[in-house]
Amino acid sequence: MDFDLSPEHAAWQRLLREFCEAEVKPFAAEVDENNSLHWDSIRKMKDVGLLGLDVPEVYGGIEIDAIGVAIAMEELGRACGSTALSLAAHNGLGCSPIVRWGTQAQKDKYLPLLVSGNYLGALALTEPGAGSDLAGGVQTFAQDDGDAWVINGSKAWITNAGISPVITVLLRTDRDAGTSGFSMILVEPNTPGVSIGKPEKKMGLKGSPTVMIGFDNVRVPKDALLGTPGDGFRQTMEILDGGRIGIGALSIGLAQAAYEEAIRYASQRRAFGKPIIAHQAIQWMIADATVEIEAARLLVHQSAWLRANGRPFSKLAAMGKLKATEVAEKVCHDSIQIHGSYGYSREYPVERIYRDQRLMSIGEGTSEIQRLVIARRVMEEFS
């Protein structure tokens, strides 16, 4: 148990550990094999609060603080990478912008649907030609046409887009205004002209659906705009800062799962007359993983604490994500090493966990972009 958890956070963690052990982890291999989320488990998440972490109670959520969100993402990550990624996207990217900037009518319409257990939310930023460089690369455009916006363009790699009642889309509403020309618009996927692609065939996180979206003269009403026109880029940066805490925590969950598998296996497997955990080389890998996981968890929790207390957290969130994703890579690698050939087999969970963690240093800002964010903040501090 972490020294920094309050009794309420510790109780939340115990509740989620129990829930995920019973309702999420047992289906993780099936979710991966079948390329499909386990919807019975997702529906049960409504009662636990996992579908509305940021959502006020009046709409069916629990509006927990950032430390509570980090705990939830770690527990989900420990149980199933695919489910955790879809839940991270649902809460941090799907629900959060509507909670923050939605009008009363937008909140009334979409938040109850989003927490119902029948859908998972989505945010569409990335395009075929724009990932890290959204400001320079986003081409999707909404033309002002009197009482409507007319949207043309495409989005790529969007988690949950085919299973969301509404997609928040980052696009340009003014081509000549630089980063002040971006806005966010809410688009229902069944609107004429919207096409949702087939799920991408991925290395891991196979149960979490990732799709392309096409917009061909898509007309949406003027009041589908989310927040203030021209504010889309700033809104995106704010959402990504928060999302990084979630992906950092999710990565710690994946690392923790691989670590527990390694210790369990090393205690049973024998070589040279003793359990392999009695060999010093194995102990060193376990000792290193123990230190690194705890260090990453402290960084992620520190960024969550800053956010929960209304303090600037952007630099710490980037540091936590960078550290946690690199730790997950190393710990999962070593866990396979400890398993020997069995770790390379689909019969053991570490093979799946290793594939699942690989996305974490790419999605919601690559490691290179995290380093840029950290360096920029440091330069600001020293200027």
User: Is there binding between residue 80 and ligand FAD (CB under 6 A)?
Assistant: no
User: Is there binding between residue 359 and ligand FAD (CB under 6 A)?
Assistant: yes
CB 55 within 8 A of CB 113: no
What's the min distance (Å) between Cβ of 370 and ligand FAD? 9
User: Is there binding between residue 123 and ligand FAD (CB under 6 A)?
Assistant: yes
Q: In the range 139-178, which residues lie near ligand FAD by CB under 6 A? A: 157-159
User: Is there binding between residue 82 and ligand FAD (CB under 6 A)?
Assistant: no
Own/partner contacts of 335-344, CB < 8 Å, gap of 24 or more, are 335/258, 335/259, 335/261, 335/262, 335/289, 337/285, 338/262, 338/265, 338/266, 338/276, 338/282, 338/285, 338/286, 339/261, 339/262, 339/265, 340/269, 342/265, 343/265
- The catalytic residues are 364
Of 67, 120, 124, 331, the one binding ligand FAD by CB under 6 A: 124
Of 116, 118, 132, 139, the one binding ligand FAD by CB under 6 A: 132
Classify residue 125 as exposed, middle or buried by CB count within 10 Å of its CB (0-12, 13-18, 19+).
Answer: buried
CB 237 within 8 A of CB 339: no
Stretch binding ligand FAD (CB under 6 A), from 173-181, 186-194, 300-308, 359-367: 359-367
User: Is there binding between residue 373 and ligand FAD (CB under 6 A)?
Assistant: no
User: Residue 15: which of 58, 64, 54, 60 has the closest Cα?
Assistant: 64
CA distance 376 to 325: 20
CA distance 177 to 182: 8
User: Is there binding between residue 26 and ligand FAD (CB under 6 A)?
Assistant: no
User: Is there binding between residue 89 and ligand FAD (CB under 6 A)?
Assistant: yes
User: Is there binding between residue 185 and ligand FAD (CB under 6 A)?
Assistant: no
User: Is there binding between residue 179 and ligand FAD (CB under 6 A)?
Assistant: no
Tallying the residues shown for the chain, one arrives at 383
Of 64, 87, 93, 306, the one binding ligand FAD by CB under 6 A: 93
Concatenate the DSSP letters of all residues of 292-334 into one string.
HHHHHHHHHHHHHHHHHTT---HHHHHHHHHHHHHHHHHHHHH
User: Is there binding between residue 125 and ligand FAD (CB under 6 A)?
Assistant: yes
What's the min distance (Å) between Cβ of 176 and ligand FAD? 24
Q: Which is nearer to ligand FAD, 281 or 379 (CB)?
A: 379
User: Is there binding between residue 212 and ligand FAD (CB under 6 A)?
Assistant: no
User: Is there binding between residue 189 and ligand FAD (CB under 6 A)?
Assistant: no
The three-state secondary structure class of 193 is coil
CA distance 310 to 270: 51
User: Is there binding between residue 361 and ligand FAD (CB under 6 A)?
Assistant: no
What's the min distance (Å) between Cβ of 364 and ligand FAD? 6
Q: Which is nearer to ligand FAD, 337 or 367 (CB)?
A: 367
Binding residues for ligand FAD, total number by CB under 6 A: 23
CB 225 within 8 A of CB 184: yes
User: Is there binding between residue 235 and ligand FAD (CB under 6 A)?
Assistant: no
CA distance 336 to 323: 20
Residues that bind ligand FAD (CB under 6 A): 89, 93, 123-126, 131-133, 157-159, 202, 205, 210, 359, 362-364, 366, 368-369, 372
